[in-house]
Amino acid sequence: MNLRLAALIPLVPLTAVLVSGGGAAPAAAPAGQDTTRLFAPAWEYPRGSIAPVRSTAGMVATTDRVASEVGAEILRRGGNAVDAAVATHFALAVVNPEAGNIGGGGFMVVRMADGTTAALDFREMAPGRATRDMFLDAAGNVTERSVEGHLAAGVPGSVAGMWEAHRRFGRLPWAELVLPAVHLAEGVVVHQRLAESFYRNRKALVKNAETMRIFTRRGEPLRVGDRLVQADLAATLQRIASSGKDGFYAGRTAELVEAEMRRGGGLITQRDMAAYKAVWRDPVRVRYRGHEVISMPPPSSGGPTMGAMLKILEGYDLPRMRYLGPEHVHLFAEASRRAYADRNAYLADPDFVPQPTARMVSDAHAAARRATIRRDRATPSAQVAPGLGAPPTEGTETTHYSIMDARGNAVAVTTTINSLYGNLVTVAGAGFLLNNEMDDFTSKPGVPNQFGLVQGAANAIAPGKRMLSAMTPTIVLDPSGRVKLVTGTPGGSTIITSIVQQVSNVVDFGMDVATATSAPRLHHQHLPDSLRFERRGLDPATVSRLRAMGHAMAERQGFQGDVQSILVTNGAMTAVADPRRGGAAVGVAEVATGVVQ
Active site residues: 398
In whole angstroms, give the CA distance from residue 546 to residue 378. Answer: 8
Least CB distance from residue 468 to ligand GLY, whole Å?
A: 8
Per CB under 6 A, which of residues 472..531 are in contact with ligand GLY?
Answer: 492
Q: Please, which residue, 67 or 471, has the CB nearer to ligand GLY? A: 471
In whole angstroms, give the CA distance from residue 273 to residue 157. Answer: 9
DSSP, collapsed to helix, strand or coil, labels residue 381 as helix
Known binding residue 492? Answer is: yes
For ligand GLY, which stretch binds (CB under 6 A), given 226-234, 356-364, 368-376, 464-472?
464-472
Least CB distance from residue 342 to ligand GLY, whole Å?
A: 16
* First vs last C-alpha separation in the chain: 34
What is the number of other CB atoms lying within 10 angstroms of the CB of residue 172? 18
DSSP 176-194: HHHHHHHHHHH-EE--HHH
Least CB distance from residue 396 to ligand GLY, whole Å?
A: 5
Q: CA dist 47 to 29, 567, 576, Å?
A: 7, 17, 14
The percent helix, strand, coil of the chain (3-state, each to 5) is 35, 20, 45
Q: Is residue 303 a contact point for ligand GLY (CB under 6 A)?
A: no
What strands lie across the sheet with 564-569, from one edge to the other? 284-288, 291-295, 474-477, 483-487, 564-569, 572-577, 53-55, 590-593
Q: Please, which residue, 253 or 418, has the CB nearer to ligand GLY? A: 418
In whole angstroms, give the CA distance from residue 418 to residue 451. Answer: 10
Q: How far is CA 471 from the centre of its chain?
A: 5
| Of residues 94, 117, 93, the one with CA closest to residue 105 | 93
Least CB distance from residue 418 to ligand GLY, whole Å?
A: 4
Known binding residue 416? Answer is: yes
By CB atoms closer than 10 A (0-12, 13-18, 19+), residue 413 is: buried
Q: What residue is closest to ligand GLY based on CB?
A: 469
Q: Please, which residue, 471 or 477, has the CB nearer to ligand GLY? A: 471
Contact pattern from residue 60 through residue 99 relative to ligand GLY, giving x for each residue in contact according to CB under 6 A and a dash for the rest: ----------------------------------------
Per CB under 6 A, which of residues 320..339 are in contact with ligand GLY?
Answer: none
For ligand GLY, which stretch binds (CB under 6 A), given 22-30, 39-47, 133-141, 467-475?
467-475
What is the number of other CB atoms lying within 10 angstroms of the CB of residue 139? 5
In whole angstroms, give the CA distance from residue 397 to residue 286. Answer: 27
Q: Please, which residue, 323 or 340, has the CB nearer to ligand GLY? A: 340
Least CB distance from residue 152 to ligand GLY, whole Å?
A: 11
CB 530 within 8 A of CB 337: no
Known binding residue 266? Answer is: no
Q: Please, which residue, 189 or 420, has the CB nearer to ligand GLY? A: 420
Classify the C-alpha dihedral 166-169-175-181 as positive or negative: negative
Q: Please, which residue, 459 or 518, has the CB nearer to ligand GLY? A: 459
Q: How many residues bind ligand GLY (CB under 6 A)?
A: 10
Contact pattern from residue 526 through residue 565 relative to ligand GLY, giving x for each residue in contact according to CB under 6 A and a dash for the rest: ----------------------------------------
CB 392 within 8 A of CB 406: no
Classify the C-alpha dihedral 439-440-443-444 as positive or negative: positive
In whole angstroms, give the CA distance from residue 202 to residue 56. Answer: 41
In DSSP terms, 413 is beta-bridged to 108, 401
For ligand GLY, which stretch binds (CB under 6 A), given 183-191, 207-215, 463-471, 589-597?
463-471
CB 333 within 8 A of CB 313: no
Q: Please, which residue, 197 or 396, has the CB nearer to ligand GLY? A: 396
Known binding residue 282? Answer is: no
Q: Please, which residue, 440 or 508, has the CB nearer to ligand GLY? A: 440
In whole angstroms, give the CA distance from residue 336 to residue 515. Answer: 22
Spatial neighbors of 376 by CB under 8 A, at least 6 apart, are 549
For ligand GLY, which stretch binds (CB under 6 A), given 331-339, 346-354, 380-388, 466-474?
466-474
CB 536 within 8 A of CB 40: yes
For ligand GLY, which stretch binds (CB under 6 A), given 58-66, 76-84, 381-389, 468-476?
468-476
Q: Please, which residue, 53 or 454, has the CB nearer to ligand GLY? A: 454
Peptide bond into 299 cis (omega under 30): yes
CB 175 within 8 A of CB 240: no
CB 531 within 8 A of CB 494: no
For ligand GLY, which stretch binds (CB under 6 A), given 86-94, 209-217, 465-473, 479-487?
465-473
Q: Is residue 469 a contact point for ligand GLY (CB under 6 A)?
A: yes
Q: Please, which residue, 146 or 518, has the CB nearer to ligand GLY? A: 146
Per CB under 6 A, which of residues 375..434 are in contact with ligand GLY?
Answer: 396, 398, 416, 418
In whole angstroms, give the CA distance from residue 284 to residue 292. Answer: 10
Least CB distance from residue 453 to ligand GLY, whole Å?
A: 9
Least CB distance from residue 88 to ligand GLY, whole Å?
A: 19
Per CB under 6 A, which of residues 134..153 are in contact with ligand GLY?
Answer: none
For ligand GLY, which stretch binds (CB under 6 A), given 125-133, 159-167, 426-434, 469-477?
469-477
Q: Is residue 471 a contact point for ligand GLY (CB under 6 A)?
A: yes
Least CB distance from residue 105 to ligand GLY, whole Å?
A: 8
Known binding residue 417? Answer is: yes
Least CB distance from residue 472 to ligand GLY, whole Å?
A: 9
Least CB distance from residue 439 to ligand GLY, whole Å?
A: 8
Q: Which residues bind ligand GLY (CB under 6 A)?
A: 396, 398, 416, 418, 437, 440, 469-471, 492
Binding residues for L-glutamate: 123, 416-418, 440, 492
Binding residues: 123, 416-418, 440, 492
